[in-house]
């Protein structure tokens, strides 16, 4: 079976469609992340998995923190084991 290559117009339409879908998913993930950070700040000890809690590190885009608008924040999410005593 030989594949017929797609035309430039078909590839462009497919590309634009995927970019639109990606933007919707990115915006949705960003909104959920904001809710997650707010909920996590209220209850940092809640277990995500058995014996693990979520740790969120607030990082800035640049090395200098002189100017840091809201969109410059980046959150690093990781699971951390609960230390048992």
Total domains, the chain: 2
- The H or E element containing residue 52 is strand 52-60
Predicted TM-score (pTM) of this structure: 0.67
Residues 48, 79 share a domain: yes
Domain extent for 76 = 44-85
85 residues of the chain, pLDDT tens digit each: 667 778 999 999 999 999 999 989 988 888 888 899 899 999 999 998 888 999 988 876 555 555 545 554 678 889 989 875 4
Residues 55, 25 share a domain: no
Q: For tokens 């885009």, what's the residue?
A: 61
């Amino acid at each position: 079976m030989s594949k017929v290559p797609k035309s430039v117009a078909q590839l462009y339409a497919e590309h634009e469609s995927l970019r639109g879908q990606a933007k919707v998913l990115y915006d949705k993930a960003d909104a959920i992340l904001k809710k997650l950070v707010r909920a996590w700040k209220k209850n940092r000890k809640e277990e995500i998995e058995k014996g693990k809690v979520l740790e969120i590190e607030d990082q800035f885009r640049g090395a200098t923190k002189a100017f840091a608008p809201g969109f410059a924040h980046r959150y690093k999410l990781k699971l951390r084991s609960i230390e048992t005593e």
